[in-house]
């Protein structure tokens, strides 16, 4: 396999992983919004804080710029 092909494959895999991560973040946000809107009796302040922390970590990681380095 030529080095250029490996780079293209990795680039495609990175794009797929980024899309999957975005879908996970969207689902997590949707669940958080539902919990906040309906506030079930079991949904405590601790749950709220943990959900916020998970969103913060996931969001900051998902949108952190990444460099893809091409080795020749």
**C-alpha pair distances (Å), 72 with each of 2, 5, 7:** 10, 11, 9
Q: pTM value? A: 0.68
Mean pLDDT of the chain: 84
Query: Whole-angstrom distance between the N-terminal and C-terminal Cα of the chain?
Result: 13
CA gap 12, 25 in Å, rounded? 20
So where are the chain's domains? 3-62
Nearest to 50 by CA among 21, 28, 23: 28
Model confidence pLDDT, tens digit, residues 56-72: 887 776 556 555 444 44
CA distance 38 to 54: 19
């Amino acid at each position: 396999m030529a080095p250029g092909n490996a780079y293209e494959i990795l680039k495609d895999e990175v794009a797929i992983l980024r899309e999957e991560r975005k879908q996970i973040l969207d689902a997590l946000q949707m669940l958080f919004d539902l919990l906040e809107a309906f506030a079930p009796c079991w949904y405590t302040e601790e749950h709220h804080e943990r959900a916020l922390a998970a969103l913060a970590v996931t969001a900051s990681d998902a949108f952190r710029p990444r460099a893809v380095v091409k080795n020749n």
